A and B are shown apart, each in its own frame.
Chain A
Amino acid sequence: MNRMRTTSENAQAIAANDALAVERTLAGERDAFRILVERHSRTVFRLAYRMTGNRQDAEEVVQEAFLRAYQNLARFAGTSNFGTWVYRIAANYAIDRMRHRKKEDARRVLHEPMNEEGIQDDPMAKVEDAKPTPERLTQSMELRKQMEAALAALSHAERTAFVMRHWEGCGIEEISVVLKSSSSATKNTVFRAVQKLRQALQPFVGTGEQARAMGMES
């Protein structure tokens, strides 16, 4: 779980600054909203990319999330902080986007090469370290394709639950709100996601030792 953790003092200061920016935006200072966009864009992008699996969709999710946040700012309850709120809007929109994409893909007859753009942007390709670390596994294009395919095969709810819990470190309650589901059902969705990923990837990863060996071979 590599969600960026700030100290509680920093988090409080950011939340206080956010609250002020929200207040100023509501008072008619449109540029105050810019502070919020610039502060939270990268975090929202990371979530959106992991949920949608491609950069173009992720960028659209980011823009739409901030547009919706601006339009509904008057209804924003000051009880949660702006970052959490816009993050939730983005997660909801990403689910809609994935549904839409699935329908589009079903209509499309031509198969497109999978995630070409992401592969070109892979910063791991520049890593020269030959140690058998798990990171090195990513250099194995085959494994990476398998991982992306396994993630793509999850249902929208499963992918959302996995991304928000495993990668973003969100609490079950927060994920339940996005999935409009009970806590027990959300826990079950996290379990099902990991179970499916495991079934799809275990033959390629095996145990930790085998995984390291694969990394060395690549």
Chain B
Amino acid sequence: MKHMTEEELIAFLEGVASERPEIAGHLSECTSCRAELKRIEAVLAALDTLPVPDPGEGYGRRVWQQIAPRLPERPSRWWQAWLEPKRLAAIGSFAAMILLAFYIGRISKPVSPGNVTVSQEQVRERILVVAVGAHLGRTEMMLVELSNTEPRDRNQKQVNISAEQHRAEDLLEENRLYRQTALNQGDAQLASILDELERVLLDVAHSPDEVTPAQLEAIRQKIESRGILFKVRVVGKELQQRERTSAPAPAQNYSSKKERNKV
């Protein structure tokens, strides 16, 4: 009999298991998995006893008294929000990216008489290609460095990976943005690779600053077992190719996505 994994049992207890009826059916027959489930339940039950202090009856009133003097006269309207310096800077960067993408398109692709106009969709895809290509390059570098990290000597009990961890945190933010953009543009394959990459980046970002050599080895094996470095290299190269060649026509685009499917 195949037993349930810890992940399946936790997903079942937390109500996020997609195969709930199957797990419930197995649990009704398997005493070993039921016992394991009880052990996890006992930990969660103990955690449930941690109290939250009562902030008191008039808490809402107190919060109001504390924040009321700090409230501006009127909340900002949506158009005022667009004039905030941070937002203006973001709009400026985005406009600069579009201009840059146009410029790259101009200098890298000879304009043929039959292909005079560049659609907005192609420009958007070009921006994604350039940005994701650079992102994958940085990610690959970080993963390679992490994979090559070694304890200085056999006696070293902790290895500091805080630099890689912080880079993984930053890359994680970027990765989420690109995955979402790829999804919005209907590039499901690229989104899927980025989703896979996100899990690896999450693992690294959530690791402690200092790990034991054994923990480091476990992280390294995780990276290797998922073959993520290979996938990152293949997709990165493919994106570089797309960036170098002329702006992709829909037919080329489709074939390149199919190629990626083979990864």
Contacts and interface: CB of A to CB of B under 8 A. Distances in A.
Q: Which 8 A-B pairs have the closest CB atoms?
A: A38-B60, A41-B60, A155-B206, A138-B49, A121-B53, A208-B42, A73-B75, A134-B45
Interface in B185-235: 195, 198-199, 202, 205-206
Contacts of B52: 46, 49-50
Nearest to B207: A155
Interface of B: 6-7, 10-11, 13-16, 35, 38-55, 59-61, 63-64, 66-68, 70-78, 80-81, 173, 176, 179, 195, 198-199, 202, 205-206
9 contacts: A34-B68, A70-B71, A73-B75, A134-B45, A147-B50, A182-B195, A192-B206, A201-B43, A208-B39
Interface residues of A, number: 75
A138 B81 contact: no
A88 interface: no
Nearest to A139: B49
Contacts of B6: 195
A68 B84 CA distance: 14
Contacts of B45: 134, 208, 211
Which one of B7, B42, B46 has the highest number of Cβ atoms from chain A below 10 Å of its Cβ?
B46
Nearest to B70: A67
Nearest to B58: A38
* Chain B interface mostly: helix
B60 A181 contact: no
B60 to A, nearest CB: 3
A39 B64 CA distance: 11
Interface string A83-101: 0000000000000000000
Given A26-B75, A166-B14, A194-B40, A66 B67 contact: yes
A205 B78 contact: no
A190 B14 contact: yes
Contacts of A181: 176, 198, 202
Which one of B10, B42, B72, B202 has the highest number of Cβ atoms from chain A below 10 Å of its Cβ?
B42
Contact of A37 (B13, B14, B63): B63
Interface in A49-77: 49-50, 55, 59, 62-63, 66-67, 70-75
Given A122-B51, A172-B16, A207-B35, 10 more contacts: A34-B68, A70-B72, A134-B48, A135-B49, A144-B50, A155-B206, A184-B195, A191-B7, A208-B45, A211-B45
Contacts of A204: 46
A207 B38 contact: yes
Nearest to B7: A191
A17 interface: no
Contacts of B81: 72, 74-75
Contacts of B74: 28, 30
Interface in A1-42: 1-2, 25-26, 28, 30, 33-34, 37-42
Interface string A147-165: 1100100010110000001
A197 B43 contact: yes
A208 B41 contact: yes
Contacts of B15: 1
B64 to A, nearest CB: 5
Interface in A93-118: 118
Contact of B53 (A1, A118, A138, A157): A118
Contacts of A34: 64, 68
Contact of B42 (A63, A75, A147, A206): A206
Contact of B63 (A63, A185, A208): A63
A123 interface: yes
B49 A33 contact: no
B59 A71 contact: no
A202 B36 CA distance: 11
A184 to B, nearest CB: 7
